[in-house]
Amino acid sequence: MNRIKTDILVIGAGSGGLSVAAGAVQMGADVVLLEANEMGGDCLNYGCVPSKALIASAKAAHAQRNAAQYGVEEAPGAVDYAAAKDHVADVIAQIAPVDSQERFEGLGVRVIREYGRFISRDEVQAGDTIIKARRIVIATGSSPFVPPIPGLDEVPYHTNETLFDLREKPDHMLIIGGGPIGMEMAQAHARLGCKVTVIEGDRALSQDDPEATAVVLQRLRAEGVTIEENTKAARVGGSAGSIELETEDGRVFKGSHLLVAAGRRANTAELDLEKAGVQSDAEGVTVDAGLRTSNRKVHAIGDVAGRLQFTHVAGYHANVIIRSMLFGLPSKVRMVQIPWVTYTDPELAQVGLTEVEAKKKHGPGLEVVRVDYEDNDRARAERRTTGFIKVMVVRNKPVGATIVGYQAGELIGIWALALANNIKMGQIAGMVAPYPTIGELNKRAAGAYFAPRLFESDMVKRVVRFVQRVLP
């Protein structure tokens, strides 16, 4: 058995773990990184990167079939599904070197390609190596949650971990789950020429603003996606190429392929957390505001920490703990400025409080300002006028923003900046945005907050009339 000592041991080479390892080693710490599976974790290999690459293929096909509105002759948009998956693989291959073992070893990180299990409060065994560390970071991510639906274990099905290896285009894809993954893949596959049915036990995209999700769902349904909300799967049967899904109300949906997109669960089962005195629950490892566990030597970040499960959150967590682990400075997570995006077309983005949440928290002190895409000249030029920006404001400060529409994921950034830095609406209204851009919508939303104060105020009008009389 080999024994080594290190300053920082990182368990998991996903986005959060890699950020910690790269930052810590370049600032002088001795770092060991454990990863038994693919470097880059879920995001690079099974999540963000491949899904957005497949969505890009789907958009290209859709654009060919809908070109007449731009004065361009439409084309069938014939899809080579296997070639689209080649595109996905190529995108992964282009990004992979940034997350590779070779790169991190070049930075000075010792990389061990084994699972890690705690054997004491400050020791982890990985294969035939025992690592004793001053600080340990759990960054093991999450895996697809497979619900206990009768018959599901007897039929072939896909999750995001297997979907991107599929080379044969499905005739009819059944999707269990109407969250972001389910809806993104539903629209992508519909645009790639598949029939798609989504079965969702609750409201589709239930974590988002209902008014905004209605815009997305209307578009998906218009493109041919069948979405059955408040419909729970009761049983699954059939065989490869012929899947049957029966719902609790007795209906039966038939398809050629099945995708399970029913959420995710934290990867904690193989860590032997109890041997390190690290507490956890069904949502993941229990952490405080500084992402420290019940064992003061151990931090947990990213999906395994049981908070918002997004790649950018894992990266943010890494920044928080590097500050405390390397410099001993107080550092806490602030979740208020964390945005999230569903990459359907139109996109759906949120940061801070939704309108419902803001009304509940702030009551009559809340003002909601709204601007529609159809009021933006660039959106008109692009024929992208579906959608709106809605900003929740309390005493001149935004407390949340909802955007549904073209490039919503790009637009939400300014509101995340505002929430992170207590920027007021007046400062955003004072920004000069280039014309014509979609980004003007953000400035217009800020201006909409002040419009009634300026244009509907008798006091303002009296002051203006007085100044006009006395000015030479």
pLDDT per position as a tens digit, 33-87 = 999 999 999 999 999 999 999 999 999 999 999 999 999 999 999 999 999 999 9
Q: Tell whether 201 is in a known binding site.
A: no
Tokens of 181: 């993954």
Q: Tell whether 436 is in a known binding site.
A: no
Residue 51, in any domain of the structure: no
Q: Tell whether 184 is in a known binding site.
A: yes
State whether 249 and 283 are in the same domain.
no
Residue 418, in any domain of the structure: yes
DSSP letters along 326-383, please? HH--------TT-EEEE-SSSEEEEEE--HHHHHHHHGGGEEEEEEEGGG-HHHHHTT
Sheet-wide strand order for 226-228: 226-228, 195-199, 172-176, 257-260
State whether 431 and 344 are in the same domain.
yes
Q: CB atoms < 10 A from the CB of 252, how many?
A: 11
Give percent above pLDDT 70 in the chain: 99
Residue 179, in any domain of the structure: yes
pTM above 0.85, yes or no: yes
Q: Which residue has the tokens 């770092």?
A: 31
**What CATH number has the domain bearing residue 175?**
3.50.50.60
Average pLDDT over residues 7-36: 97
DSSP letters along 206-257, please? TTS-HHHHHHHHHHHHHTT-EEE-S--EEEEEEETTEEEEEETTS-EEEESE
| pLDDT tens profile 89-111 | 999 999 999 999 999 999 999 99
State whether 170 and 241 are in the same domain.
yes
The region that residue 272 occupies, defined by phi over 0 for left and psi between -120 and 50 for alpha, beta otherwise, is left
Q: Tell whether 116 is in a known binding site.
A: yes
Task: Examine the fold and report which residue of 327, 349, 367 is the final residue of a domain before the chain moves on.
Answer: 327
State whether 352 and 294 are in the same domain.
no
Residue 300, in any domain of the structure: yes
State whether 233 and 375 are in the same domain.
no
Determine contact, residues 150/234, Cβ cutoff 8 Å: yes
Has residue 465 got a pLDDT over 80?
Answer: no
| pLDDT tens profile 225-234 | 999 999 999 9
Q: Tell whether 179 is in a known binding site.
A: yes
Give the pLDDT confidence score for residue 455 in this predicted structure. 62
Residue 468, in any domain of the structure: no
Distance, CA of 279 to CA of 458 (rounded, Å): 60
Q: Tell whether 302 is in a known binding site.
A: no
Distance, CA of 179 to CA of 182 (rounded, Å): 5
**What CATH number has the domain bearing residue 400?**
3.30.390.30
Average pLDDT over residues 161-173: 97
User: Which of 343, 336, 297 has its CA nearest to residue 316?
Assistant: 336
Distance, CA of 317 to CA of 332 (rounded, Å): 9
State whether 20 and 133 are in the same domain.
yes
Has residue 454 got a pLDDT over 80?
Answer: no
Beta strands in 271-346 (DSSP E): 280-281, 284-285, 298-300, 339-342
Give the pLDDT confidence score for residue 307 in this predicted structure. 81
Q: Tell whether 242 is in a known binding site.
A: no
Give the pLDDT confidence score for residue 468 in this predicted structure. 81
Determine contact, residues 188/87, Cβ cutoff 8 Å: no
Q: Tell whether 182 is in a known binding site.
A: yes
Give the pLDDT confidence score for residue 116 in this predicted structure. 96
**How buried is residue 453: exposed, middle or buried, by Cβ count under 10 Å (0-12/13-18/19+)?**
exposed
Tokens of 147: 């619900």
Gyration radius of the chain's alpha carbons: 25
Q: Tell whether 71 is in a known binding site.
A: no
Q: CB atoms < 10 A from the CB of 333, how many?
A: 20
State whether 228 and 314 are in the same domain.
no
Determine contact, residues 113/101, Cβ cutoff 8 Å: yes
Average pLDDT score over the chain? 95
Task: Examine the fold and report which residue of 212, 232, 262 is the final residue of a domain before the chain moves on.
Answer: 262
Distance, CA of 39 to CA of 34 (rounded, Å): 10
Q: Which residues of 85-102 are buried (b: 16+ CB within 10 A; e: fewer)?
A: bebbeebbeeebeebbee
Domain of residue 234 covers 152-262
Q: What is the number of residues in the chain?
A: 472
Dihedral through CA 89, CA 173, CA 216, CA 193, nearest 10?
70
Give the pLDDT confidence score for residue 462 in this predicted structure. 76
User: Which of 228, 229, 180 has its CA nearest to residue 202?
Assistant: 229
Has residue 456 got a pLDDT over 70?
Answer: no
Residue 39's SS3 state is coil
User: Which of 28, 22, 23 has its CA nearest to residue 7?
Assistant: 28
**How buried is residue 322: exposed, middle or buried, by Cβ count under 10 Å (0-12/13-18/19+)?**
buried
Q: Tell whether 409 is in a known binding site.
A: no
Q: Tell whether 12 is in a known binding site.
A: no
User: Which of 439, 414, 432 has its CA nearest to residue 424?
Assistant: 414
In the structure, what pLDDT confidence band is assigned to residue 460 with cuts at 50, 70 and 90?
low
**Facing residues of 239 across strands?**
242
163-170 CB contacts, 8 Å cutoff, 24+ apart: 163/259, 164/46, 164/50, 164/51, 164/54, 164/85, 164/88, 164/89, 165/85, 166/85, 166/257, 167/81, 167/82, 167/85, 168/81, 168/82, 169/79, 169/81, 169/193, 169/194, 170/194, 170/255, 170/256, 170/257
Q: Tell whether 141 is in a known binding site.
A: yes
State whether 427 and 387 are in the same domain.
yes
State whether 313 and 365 are in the same domain.
no
Strands 195-199 and 226-228 turn out to be parallel
Beta-carbon contacts of residue 19 (< 8 Å; ≥ 6 apart) = 314, 315, 318, 319
Query: Based on the structure, what is the number of domains in the chain?
Result: 3
Distance, CA of 335 to CA of 289 (rounded, Å): 10
Q: Tell whether 177 is in a known binding site.
A: yes
Residue 358, in any domain of the structure: yes
Residue 81, in any domain of the structure: no
Determine contact, residues 163/214, Cβ cutoff 8 Å: no
Task: Examine the fold and report which residue of 218, 239, 262 is the final residue of a domain before the chain moves on.
Answer: 262
Residue 73, in any domain of the structure: no
Has residue 385 got a pLDDT over 90?
Answer: yes
Q: Which residues of 2-32 are buried (b: 16+ CB within 10 A; e: fewer)?
A: eeeebbbbbbbbbbbbbbbbbbbbeeebbbb
Which amino acid appears at position 260 of this protein? V
State whether 258 and 272 are in the same domain.
no
Q: Tell whether 178 is in a known binding site.
A: yes
State whether 122 and 209 are in the same domain.
no
Give the pLDDT confidence score for residue 428 in this predicted structure. 96
- Lowest-confidence pick of 25-29, 241-245, 443-447, 453-457: 453-457
State whether 12 and 129 are in the same domain.
yes
